[in-house]
């Protein structure tokens, strides 16, 4: 009798058997020791990463954040996009809560894409631009926009960070963040979330921004991949739309065979180990593939052989790849089942063995930015209750 897991495996094997195999597939080639004459390998993106990835054929979504001077910058960006960029766009602008917004009408004059004010529950479509309404918070969940009323608070209204964080969670490595002209720092945290999820980030250059506070804050946070003018951002988006890292809708048959990809990745890991002393061979293969392909997209390279050549000739790119693989991916209570296990299994064994007046020391190795430590401390205090 099969369990649920074996049923899944059986179905997966059946699907793989039913797929047509190209004549150029590695399985149909004679086995020999010579290097096969095949196209330079691209990466397969079929495995999940740390952040839940969108389903096949889901398009990228671009989150654009702006404040003062943002209308002019967004207009320039839209004017330089191709007619059908193949992406969905959401524009989150700081707005006066008491005055009607004309953003939708103003932006529609400068693009052939459909421009509409966002409504609750609307599904984001490619080649559409959605504009935040006044007096609201906006987020993305399963490809749909969610609107909630803006709460009264003495704190500054910062709608860009929450939206970009939700975009990172929903789209993973197919999230794209852009920060245009504006004062203060809204957007920097959201851009960090997008980069952690494997997405790509842009900030408007200071010399072209009417107010450069927001772009500078994002750049200072170390989470921006490109610092460009709005026109250059549009041109880069058009290029990325054709890169295999973003253009996931291309047929799977265009992706080179797994053995060729695995061999290329092994060569890259050896180079990383020799340069940094760090062995990444035990990392999840899907994580390595996406981080490598992300760097390829940023360097405008579309195949692994050319990227390997780049790594051999450019030590700074090798270090950049190393940093990208080690990027912080963390949040409070990131793995809920782990914290449940702490409360149910670990803490009951630790607490009775200690005098209530004595310390309980918990070590967190490799903690990236503190969320793990505080999460464990809070769970322990909840477990101890009155005994704490």
For residue 284, give Cα distances in angstroms to 277, 281, 301.
18, 8, 23
d(CA 348, CA 190): 38
* Nearest C-alpha neighbor of 331 from the set 169, 145, 178: 169
| Burial state string for 115-124 with b = 16 or more CB within 10 A and e = fewer than 16 | bebbeeebeb
Tally Cβ neighbours within 10 Å of residue 92.
Answer: 28
d(CA 321, CA 17): 36
Contacts of 67 (CB under 8 A, 6+ apart): 93, 94, 181, 182, 183, 184, 186, 211, 214
Per DSSP, the three-state class of 165 is helix
Burial bucket for residue 356 (CB in 10 Å: 0-12, 13-18, 19+): exposed
φ/ψ of 128, rounded to 5, equals -125, 145
Tell me whether strands 136-141 and 144-149 are parallel, antiparallel or unpaired.
Answer: antiparallel
Instruction: Evaluate whether 206 touches 183 at the Cβ level (below 8 Å).
Output: no
| Burial state string for 156-180 with b = 16 or more CB within 10 A and e = fewer than 16 | eebbbbbbbbbbbbbbbbbbbbbbb
Q: What angle do CA 57, 59, 61 make, to 5 degrees?
A: 160
DSSP string, 295-351: HHHHTT--SHHHHHHHHHH-HHHHHHHHHHHT-----TT-SHHHHHHIIIIIHHHHG
d(CA 13, CA 385): 50
* Nearest C-alpha neighbor of 376 from the set 323, 339, 326, 322: 339
Q: Which residues are catalytic?
A: 67, 94, 186
Tokens at 14, concatenated: 């059946």
């Amino acid at each position: 009798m099969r369990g649920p897991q074996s049923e899944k495996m059986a179905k997966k094997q059946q699907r793989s058997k039913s797929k047509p195999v190209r004549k150029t597939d590695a399985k149909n080639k004679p086995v020999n020791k010579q290097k096969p004459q095949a196209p330079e390998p691209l990466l397969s993106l079929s495995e999940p990463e740390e952040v839940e990835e969108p389903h096949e054929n889901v398009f990228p979504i671009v989150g654009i954040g702006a404040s003062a001077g943002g209308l002019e910058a967004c207009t320039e960006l839209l004017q330089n996009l191709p007619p059908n960029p193949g992406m969905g766009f959401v524009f989150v602008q700081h707005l006066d809560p008491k005055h009607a917004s004309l953003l939708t009408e103003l932006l529609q004059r400068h693009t052939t894409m459909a421009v509409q004010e966002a409504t609750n529950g609307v599904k984001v479509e490619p080649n559409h631009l959605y504009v935040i309404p006044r007096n609201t918070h906006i987020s993305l969940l399963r490809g749909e926009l969610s609107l909630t009323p803006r709460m009264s608070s003495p704190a500054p209204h910062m709608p860009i960070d929450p939206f970009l964080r939700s975009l990172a969670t929903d789209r993973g490595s197919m999230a794209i963040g852009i920060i245009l002209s504006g004062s203060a720092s809204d957007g920097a945290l959201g851009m960090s979330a997008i980069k952690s999820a494997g997405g790509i980030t842009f900030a408007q250059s200071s010399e072209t921004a009417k107010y450069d506070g927001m772009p500078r804050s994002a750049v200072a946070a170390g989470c921006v991949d490109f610092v460009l003018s709005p026109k250059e951002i549009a041109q880069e988006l058009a290029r990325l739309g054709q890169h295999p890292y973003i253009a996931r809708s291309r047929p799977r048959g265009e992706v080179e065979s797994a053995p060729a990809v695995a061999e290329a990745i092994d060569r890259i890991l050896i180079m990383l180990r020799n340069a940094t002393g760090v062995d990444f061979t035990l990392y999840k293969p899907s994580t390595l593939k996406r981080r490598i392909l992300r760097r390829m997209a940023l360097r405008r390279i579309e195949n692994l052989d050319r990227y390997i050549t780049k790594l051999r000739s450019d030590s700074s790119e090798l270090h950049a790849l190393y940093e990208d693989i080690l990027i912080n991916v963390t949040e409070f209570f990131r793995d809920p089942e782990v914290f449940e296990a702490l409360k149910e299994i670990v803490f009951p064994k630790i607490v009775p063995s200690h005098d209530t007046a004595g310390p309980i020391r918990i070590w967190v190795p490799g903690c990236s930015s503190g969320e793990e430590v505080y999460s464990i401390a809070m769970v322990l205090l909840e477990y101890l209750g009155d005994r704490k």
